[in-house]
């Protein structure tokens, strides 16, 4: 399970203006904002942008200046893979260390949609045990109970992070993960394709 919400895309105007700096061709810029305030690539600017994209990462530096911020709720096993993309991304997460004991362990807080029926019985029993440990920790403050919760926490636990990244980061993710066996990556790649101008900029690749 993976959900993306509260996302914003910004800095198109500055990015394409910067892309024209090397040849001082600012007068050819023809992009504009529509009546809803949305950035629209003009024909000249889109031609330049796609040419730079096609030329490779060294030339499409403007893609690093188109920024995206989003809240992503995903299981820990997916976040371990996302953390591959450390360069150029920033994330603030809900803290497992500080808050794991504050809420009861419920199955809806985990990604369990692919666990078979026998596995779900075992999983529910595990959550019940960890929940009992949580209650013991709240009663006693014994750190051993806290450690038990941390070390037994399943990797299917869903964590929320607010992430900031660039179109260049997302481009790398898309081409690396679009055929990944994890459904979560397919959700992300489908979302990436729907971001403003993403397909227009990258359909030449």
Based on the fold, state whether residues 8 and 78 are members of the same structural domain. Answer: yes
Q: Domain count of the chain? A: 2
Residue 95 has pLDDT above 70, yes or no: no
Q: What is the pLDDT of residues 54-82, one digit of tens each?
A: 999 899 999 999 999 999 999 999 999 99
Based on the fold, state whether residues 88 and 106 are members of the same structural domain. Answer: no
Q: Which residues, 6 or more positions from 162, have their beta carbon under 8 angstroms from its beta carbon?
A: 6, 69, 70, 71, 72, 91, 92, 93
Q: What is the pLDDT of residues 137-178, one digit of tens each?
A: 999 999 999 999 999 999 999 999 999 999 999 999 999 999
| Domain span holding position 124 | 101-152
What CATH number should be reported for the domain holding residue 46? 3.30.1360
Q: What is the pLDDT of residue 100?
A: 83
Based on the fold, state whether residues 47 and 106 are members of the same structural domain. Answer: no
How many percent of the chain have pLDDT more than 90? 86
Contact between 62 and 15 under an 8 Å Cβ cutoff? The reply is yes
Average of per-residue pLDDT values in the chain: 93
Question: How far is 39 from 101, CA to CA, in rounded Å?
Answer: 45
Mean pLDDT of 117-132: 96
Q: What is the pLDDT of residue 98?
A: 63
Based on the fold, state whether residues 49 and 105 are members of the same structural domain. Answer: no
Q: What is the pLDDT of residue 99?
A: 74
DSSP assignment of 51-118 equals: HHHHH-TTT-GGGGGSEEEEEEEEEHHHHHHHTT--TT-EEEE--HHHHTTTS---GGGB--TT--HH
């Amino acid at each position: 399970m993976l959900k993306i919400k509260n996302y914003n895309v910004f800095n198109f105007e500055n990015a394409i203006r910067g892309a024209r700096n090397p040849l001082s061709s600012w007068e050819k810029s023809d992009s504009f904002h529509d009546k809803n305030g949305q950035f629209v690539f003009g024909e000249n600017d889109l031609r330049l942008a796609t040419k730079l994209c096609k030329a490779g990462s060294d030339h499409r530096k403007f893609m690093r200046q188109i920024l995206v911020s989003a809240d992503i709720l995903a299981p820990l096993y997916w976040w371990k893979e996302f953390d591959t993309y450390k360069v150029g991304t920033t994330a603030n997460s809900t803290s497992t260390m500080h808050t794991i004991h504050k809420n009861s362990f419920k199955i809806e807080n985990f990604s369990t949609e692919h666990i078979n029926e026998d596995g779900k019985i075992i999983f529910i029993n595990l959550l019940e045990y960890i929940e009992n440990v949580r209650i013991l920790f709240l009663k006693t403050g014994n750190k051993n109970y806290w450690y038990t919760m941390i070390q037994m926490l399943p990797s299917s636990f869903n964590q929320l992070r607010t992430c900031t990244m660039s179109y260049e980061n997302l481009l790398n993710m898309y081409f690396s993960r679009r055929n990944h066996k994890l459904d979560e990556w397919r959700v992300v790649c489908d979302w990436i394709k729907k971001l403003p101008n993403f397909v227009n900029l990258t359909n030449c690749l």
